Amino acid sequence: MQSVLMEKNEHLGIITLNRPKSLNAMNADLVEEFHRALDIFVEDEDIRVIILTGAGRAFCAGGDLGYLESLNDDKKRKAFIERVGEMTLKLRNCAKPVIGMINGVTAGAGVNLMLACDIVCSSEDAKFIQSFVNVGLVPDCGGMYLLKETVGLQKAKELMFTADVISAQEAEKLKMVMHVYAKEDLKIETEKIAQGAPMAIMYMKKMLNKSYANLKDFLDEEALVQTFCLGTEDCKEGILAFKQKRQPNFQGK
């Protein structure tokens, strides 16, 4: 793979969008390699946390406009946009936590891909823009769903209608990103997140992302999940480590 790089560091898998000359804009190669890389890390039992970032001075500038212009019929356009949307769906549905490590320019579908991550960390010089309206498009990659869910309806409309550029600090206030770090600290701080019991985090993600008809339905599933977790080796290790006043050594079992 060339448009996407993969790095494995013990229990951490890092996916890097790698088209720096185009600010990691999405074309068919990048999208397909992203799917392949994510599938590999999801299936790798050694990987507990996935980090998504970009090469160079950008995370992702959205769709590659030159590539989009080359799609000369509706069938090809629809197939590509559907495949881009599947990137968001796959990030949301994969069992492992995905941390967005946003290192620079983030625009269009890049913002929406970022919002599909479970937690987002940003460098202090990052900029964000929902740029679709500037080229006569609606937000894709799940943006209208995800941004409204994150910042509320009126703010989502404002950001999308105006294509205003917002800073990392404003994005933090809006909860689009959870943490803002100095550029030199971003990787170190991001890698500290979500290092807890893997199976417990898997079930947390599943239940937090799921809609329930009422509290009773939620509590019924909560009881089943917690009963299972209480019988895991990770729970036994966690309790023992607590008693021994040490850090637990979770194995995902």
Render pLDDT for 135-155 as a digit per residue (tens, 0 to 9). 999 999 999 999 999 999 999
pLDDT over 80 (residue 166): yes
CA-nearest of 166, 159, 102 to 133 is 159
Task: Please state, in angstroms and rounded to a whole number, the distance separating the CA atoms of residues 227 and 230.
Answer: 5
Q: Which residue has the tokens 């968001």?
A: 88
Residue among 41, 189, 61 nearest 135 (CA)? 61
Given this model, what pLDDT does residue 171 score?
97
User: Which of 119, 139, 113 has the alpha carbon at shortest distance from 209?
Assistant: 119
- Please indicate, yes or no, whether the overall pTM of this predicted structure exceeds 0.85: yes
Number of helices (H), then strands (E), belonging to the chain: the values are 11, 10
Residue 205's pLDDT band, with cuts at 50, 70 and 90, is: very high
- Burial string for 89-104 (b: 16+ CB within 10 Å, else e) reads ebbbebebbbbbbbbb
